[in-house]
Structure 1
Amino acid sequence: MSSSNLTLDSADRVIPVLARDGYALIRDVLSAEEVARARAVCDAHLLPDADAECEIEATELLRMPELGFIFDERVVAALSGWLGGTLAYYPNYVARLNRFTEWHVDNGFSPRFIPDASHLYSPDFRHLQCIVYLQDNVPGAGGGLDVRPGSHGWAAGGPFPDDDELARSYPDIVSVDSRAGDLIVFDGRLMHRGTPTDGSLKRRKYGIFWSASRDDQVQIDRYLAYFLARVDHLRTLNQPPDEFEREELRFQLMRSIRFPASYLPQEVEVLRKFGVTLAELPGLTPGSA
């Protein structure tokens, strides 16, 4: 089963690729014109220093129609199909500039950071991390994502391995051949990193990130519980004060996301049409769909 030339309309091909490899590359979700508009709004809202890392948080992002492809009908319909017919979105929408990470499994899917991680071992687990990059992933330039195919399979094999053991168990590395405007989706349990850059090409790396799962209350509650515990966990890591303050601010902004008030009218229409569950962190009085 090839993972090349997948589209939003090829659910019958995407689902087995995700099951086998833990990730899939979906071509041409955005047109060249849509990519240009999205890059322009990111240029206007993020730091001018090409070497800096910063973010557009959810409260701002949700008011930017240029980044509203997260809620495009075809995207929402496709994610629902890949996840088994139902869909939940989470409040951690974010646009990131120059995000380069080392090999890891996201903390929200690591038993080290979740008091009850039994859902991660369930055959019914369905959660995708979603990214649209606004530049090609060119070797050396670090424009996208690297993955270790199949590494989500640790959840079928006993205790959670440390990063070194996981890397040894899944030695193959793929730099995902994404182009500007493609969508990458990957199982939350997959080991991944930001594609490294050798510094030979100076450019701004933009990624638009969001999280989607099937509409399952246990899975929703445990992912939200991870966010609730995250700031307290960071207190134990001796983070620099500015790093901790940035994470705490992001958490507080995520707590303020409410449906429908936080979303643009056209996004509300799509989310209601497809019956998407909008998982929310406690803080304000929850809205209702």
Structure 2
Amino acid sequence: MQLITIRDALQQWCRDIDDIDARILLQHVLNVSHAHLIAHAEQALDSKQAQSFRLLAERRTRGEPVAYLIGKREFYSLGFTVTPAVLIPRPETELLVDLALARIPLDLPWKILDLGTGSGAIALAIAKHRPLANIVAVDFSADALAVAKINACQLDVNNARFIEADWFGDFNGERFNLIVSNPPYIADGDPHLTRGDLRFEPHLALAAENEGLDCIRSIIAAAPAHLVVGGALLLEHGYDQAEACRRLLSEAGFERIFSRPDLAGIPRVSGGALEIA
């Protein structure tokens, strides 16, 4: 049986997928770095490695996200396990973490609530950078919470707890200094849901009724009852939803309302705080 090299594998089996995707898949199969692929282009793959890579390349050709194929994605310089039960963490969501960390003191045991935690990316990134904070991460999906708990263990996070609930659930009067959320905000029926990686991600974690604002509206309306005086709410939203979010925040009694753009210049996060007595 003729052996196939790294160079041959990338050239022969990856004509229909992005070169970067192909290299990530091969790195995963061989458990090597990008530099290794370049430096050892003539290295031969054994039959098991060759078959594994070919099958992954074929699945990527059919559109399956790379993150699901290799079971991981980096977010906020941390490695997260991901499965089709959770959204794939995206770079633009790092803005939400940045804004949260800017509010959370390093030396105080602030209470943080993450609604719709999915893989736990937001909650665990905050927990790693604010070890004195107490994080509560909520999701209605037991499968998603199972992934989040795996990530908490892998990242050695001990200051986060996970609750299966529909948004605020029943916290028995518990209040938080900060609430963060990356809720479903794509309008149900939006054609983007039938393209690219979104085809494979959990629909209920992506789409919402009424132009994508149903979940955002519910969270904003209920948040004041779960915040301490002076507490704040931060929400990720769609490219065209900043104005609507600011209006809803104002109607709910929030002040110091703002929107911030992501690195692409797209308004991505809006928030506000309750009045300080």
Q: TM-score, normalised by structure 1?
A: 0.28
Structure number, greater radius of gyration: 2
Determine which structure has the larger strand proportion and give its number. 2
Determine which structure has the larger helix proportion and give its number. 2
Q: TM-score, normalised by structure 2?
A: 0.29
